């Protein structure tokens, strides 16, 4: 977003990296995190960890 809080179109690529890959990773995780690895000012990798919690209903 810019300083006026108006929507700007999301660029398709950032330094040659497809932005939709980041969006897809974020949208696919319900609970967890998405980590973006940067090297030499460029995005080189996306890691994601999704947590699953199970409640024991027998207690």
Instruction: Give residue 7's pLDDT.
Output: 79
Distance CA 5, CA 21 (A): 24
Please answer whether residues 48 and 32 qualify as being in contact, where contact means their C-beta atoms are separated by less than 8 angstroms. Answer: yes
Instruction: Give residue 2's pLDDT.
Output: 45
Instruction: Give residue 1's pLDDT.
Output: 43
Distance CA 31, CA 17 (A): 25
Note the pLDDT tens digit of each residue in 9-53. Answer: 777 887 778 888 899 999 999 899 999 999 998 888 999 999 888
pTM exceeding the 0.75 threshold for the entire prediction: no
Q: What secondary structure does DSSP assign to 6-59, as a single string?
A: ---PPPSEETTEEHHHHHHHHHH-SSEEEEEEEETTEEEEEEEEE------TT-
Q: How many CA atoms lie within 13 A of 41 on its CB side?
A: 1
């Amino acid at each position: 977003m810019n300083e006026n809080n108006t929507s700007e179109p999301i660029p398709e690529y950032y330094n040659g990296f497809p932005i939709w890959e980041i969006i897809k990773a974020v949208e696919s995780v319900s609970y967890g995190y998405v980590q973006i690895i940067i090297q030499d000012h460029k995005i080189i990798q996306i890691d994601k960890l999704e947590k699953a919690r199970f409640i024991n209903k027998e207690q």
